[in-house]
Amino acid sequence: MAIKVYILKKSIMKSSIDEYLEMKAELKERKKLEKQMNPESTMEQKQKKELRAVFVSESDTALQALEIAGISYEGDIDLDDIEFCKVESQQKCICGNLHIPRRNDVLGEKIRMYFFANRKNIVIIDDEDFAEKIIKRIIASRTKPGQSRERFLYNFCAKFMDEDLDNLGRYEKKIMGIEEEINEGDLDEVTEEIALLRKELLILREYYDEMNDFGKQLEENENNFFSGKNLSYFGTISDRADRLMGRTMYLLDYIGQVRDTYQGKVAEHQNDNMEFLTIISTIFFPLTLITGWYGMNFDNMPELTHGYPFVIGLSLVVVAVIIIIFKKRKIL
């Protein structure tokens, strides 16, 4: 039987619970009739006919949702406490934390969610309608959220990660644009742009690393809450996160190379300035010596009679000689 999804918001909570309980009672009656008609049905056939549900709830109704789903969790439920993605196994359930960067504001507030799973049901705690939107996208693309809890969790994680590769492609284009600006000599505000992109990519790398571990922890199936034949779904989540992390690492290397190019351009620009100042100093140093020498005004200096034109002529000759030397050595 396919997974059924119930949205447990305050405004529609009663109708969702009534629908679930009605379906549960109907399925129970149907199983009783089938048992009378076919008492030799296998355990696998019985499990296929069990009602499996996903409850999407807000923090205010989290405890009610867990109670309806038959999930016993030992711990506090506070979305503000979530700082990274992880999976925690308890004796009666699995608890997962999701801490997802927003594509349009990686440095801003993250999307925080809990999910809980036992051997029958899943409960997702989310205060931002993010989970509901993801489920609607799953239904729109596949018509059903999944035939099992494992398939549902795979669909859910894959759906909020399915545009991440395109997002990383946009980062690559931004870095290429910065590289072109540097090569064209436009160095204004490049440092800030590089620092911002690098910080965002570091956050994404950490997130994909956490999702990689997240998938592996689910695949380990520590307390056997999931069916062994469906554990490959979680391995696919881990593989996808690993590929995205590899792509992010490549972009971090790329932006590091662009930063090195920028620093090289800045150093080249500084060297040009130093070379210009050195040339000016080299030209004016002999002139300073000449003016200092003839500024002493001793009485027995023969050049004092026509000294002014002589000093001007000598200075021009010195400047011309220095320029010719610089030209020959290709300094100018």
Taking only the tens place, the pLDDT of each residue in 195-212 is 999 999 999 999 999 999
- In terms of average pLDDT, the best of 42-56, 133-147, 173-187, 189-203 is 189-203
Taking only the tens place, the pLDDT of each residue in 22-74 is 555 555 555 555 555 555 544 444 444 456 788 888 888 888 888 888 888 88
Q: What is the pTM of this model?
A: 0.75
Tokens of 123: 């409960």
Rounded to the nearest 10 degrees, how much is the dihedral formed by the CA atoms of 140, 143, 147, 150?
Answer: -10
Query: Which of the two residues, 286 and 179, has the higher pLDDT score?
Result: 179
pLDDT of residue 208: 96
All domains in the chain, ordered by first residue: 1-162 (no CATH), 271-328 (1.20.58.340)
Q: How confident is the model at residue 189 (pLDDT cuts 50, 70, 90)?
A: confident
Contacts of 58 (CB under 8 A, 6+ apart): 8, 9, 10, 125, 126, 127
Helix (H) or strand (E) holding 309: helix 307-328
Q: Average of pLDDT values for 305-319?
A: 72
Q: How confident is the model at residue 295 (pLDDT cuts 50, 70, 90)?
A: low
For every residue of 208-273, DSSP letters joined together read HHHHHHHHHHHHH-TT--S-GGGTHHHHHHHHHHHHHHHHHHHHHHHHHHHHHHHHHHHHHHHHHH
Query: Which of the two residues, 204 and 261, has the higher pLDDT score?
Result: 204
Rounded Cα distance between 47 and 35, Å, is: 13
- The closest alpha carbon to 190, from 104, 269, 273, belongs to 269
Tokens of 108: 């801003």
Q: Is the dihedral of CA 55, 127, 221, 218 positive or negative?
A: positive
Cα-trace Rg, the chain: 36
Q: Which range has the worst mean pLDDT, 16-30, 94-108, 227-241, 267-281?
A: 16-30
Residue whose tokens read 């080299």: 282
Percentage of residues in the chain with pLDDT exceeding 90? 32
Q: Identify the bridge partners of residue 97 per DSSP, sorted by sequence position.
A: 86, 114
pLDDT of residue 204: 96
The helix/strand/coil state of 116 is strand
Q: Which range has the worst mean pLDDT, 50-54, 84-88, 131-135?
A: 50-54
